[in-house]
Structures are given as structure tokens and as C-alpha cells.
Amino acid sequence: MVLEYYDIEKVINVVVSTRDKIMRVYNSAKIEVTTKDDNSPVTSADRFSHRIITTKLEIAFPDIPIISEESQEIPFDERKYWDSFWLLDPLDGTKEFLNKRDEFTVNLCLIDKGFPILGIVYAPALELLYFAHKAKGSFKRSKGSRSEAIRVKRAGDPEIVFARSRSHADPKEEEVISKFDKTKIISAGSSLKFCYVAEGLADIYLRTAPTMEWDTAAGQCIAECAGARVCDLEGKRIQYNKESLKNPHFLCIGSRRDLLNKAKTIPLFKNL
């Protein structure tokens, strides 16, 4: 099921409706944390967001199934037949959330035939919204402002800006950065790094630390619809609803030809 562009405001309203519950937990004196089987932290804000969004999506779009980080695992034998589904991360950047840094997000994406076609990244503490539809492009909306179209940086610039994780840096990323001259680092939590590439604040987001499909789908949609390329280190576009929901290492890179040519000279990217 491919939703039309006019449906996106309905989906945005579902995502933004989580803000009050999330911020109530965020602003509390003590945040209760439990640990999942994979040792990742989870808070009541994750669970509140999951329940609000899944309930509203099931009412508004009853024919579209949902995969959420906080739902029970759905066997591949069942989901492999899905043409379309929602992919939800109710709270991306839990470590930022726990450390009272505002760079956590809610990520929701509609996947169709294995690829993102509608994506929303919402930062409740910043009241900042990014969204994209494959037929219309990518947009940014700040509190009290109208939506504005965003695009990747196109003009050649001697300074190469890397978007990096605050909590999941990896030595391989350091090695790649060292191959470029005149680099600058922007550190951020959650899927905002995709959005920084999408709006031209960064040129490259390389990830060699582990991620799951719900971590990246919405950000990929926003980056791709803004003109970026999101691929694994063999140059293959990142795909969704795999048997394992773990992502390969990936690269999100803007459309600058000089940047792409330079990247291809680095051994890690030799097959791009």
C-alpha cells in the first residue's frame, strides 16, 4: 500500500502526539530504566511512544502491519510476504535521552517492497520535525515555522563535514575521516545524522557500529528524498525486511561528485 502525499500529515500527527508523554518522562527527576535481552536500555518513554503510535496506526491504517523495536519479534516466515509495513523506533537515542541531551527522536517509516517511501524523524525536545515522501522530496519543520524543502549540499566545498554518533563511535570511522583533508565533525544522537546530510549541514554519515532496521529506515527515506545515497560498503542500497533485521555497515553520502570520487579511492569503499 503506497500512501499519497496528503496522508503524511495524518501520520505526522500520530508521531507528534507522543510528545507530552515522552517529555513528561524526560523532565522527571529520575528516569526508570530496564535492560532488554541485548543489553540496550529501555524506559517508560519508549513504551508510551510505542503504545500511542501503534494504537493510532492500527486505527488509521488497519491494513498495514507494524514492526516496532518494542513489539514482540515477528517471524520472518510471516513477514516475508508483506509488501508494505510500518517500521517504528519509538525512541531512538535512549542514551541521549538518559543523559538529558535533546538529540533523541521518534522514527517512523513506511516500507514498500523493501525500501522506504515515507519517513518521519521527530525530535520532541527540540520540537523539530523532518519528513519525506518519495514523490515529493524531503522537508524540515521547526516549532512555529512552515515546512521548508531541504536538499543535500551540491556545491564543492573544501571542508568535508562528517556526521558522527555521540555514543557509538568506531575506529574504522576514524580511519576513513583521516583520509580526507579539511574535515569537520558534527556529533549528534539518533537518526538526526541522516537529516543533517539531507539538509546540507553534513556531507557524510558513515556507520560501522551495529544498527537495526528501525534505527535507519526513516532517516534513509529523508536522506534519499533529499538527494543523498544510502548504501552498504559494497555500494548496494540498504534494504528492509531482511531475515535478520540487523543492518550492514552503511554510508550516507551527499551527491557532490568530488566527494564520491574521493570516497572511491578509500579501500573501505572500493566497491562503491
Q: Domain map of the chain by residue range?
A: 5-150, 160-269
17 pLDDT exceeds 90?
A: yes
Mean pLDDT of the chain: 90
pLDDT score for 163: 93
| CATH top class, domain 5-150 | alpha beta
CA distance 194 to 189: 10
* Contact partners, residue 146, CB within 8 Å, separation at least 6: none
38 pLDDT exceeds 80?
A: no
Locate the DSSP E strands across 73-190. Answer: 84-92, 105-112, 115-123, 128-133, 137-142, 148-150, 160-165, 183-188
* Higher pLDDT, residue 43 or 170: 43
**Half-sphere exposure (Cβ direction) of 80: Cα atoms closer than 13 Å:** 6
- Pick the range with the lowest mean pLDDT from 39-43, 117-121, 135-139, 245-249: 39-43
pLDDT (tens digit, 9 = 90+) per residue, 49-88? 999 999 999 999 999 999 999 998 899 999 999 999 999 9
217 pLDDT exceeds 90?
A: yes
pLDDT (tens digit, 9 = 90+) per residue, 134-192? 999 999 999 888 999 999 987 767 788 999 887 666 777 887 888 887 788 998 888 99
CATH dotted code for 160-269: 3.40.190.80
111 pLDDT exceeds 90?
A: yes
pLDDT score for 119: 97
pLDDT score for 218: 98
1 pLDDT exceeds 60?
A: no
Q: What's the pTM value of the predicted model, to 2 decimals?
A: 0.94
Per-residue pLDDT band at 194 (split at 50, 70, 90): very high
268 pLDDT exceeds 80?
A: no
β-strand 204-207 against 160-165: which pairing, if any? parallel
CA distance 60 to 56: 6
- Pick the range with the lowest mean pLDDT from 109-118, 222-231, 251-260: 251-260
204 pLDDT exceeds 80?
A: yes
* Higher pLDDT, residue 265 or 72: 72
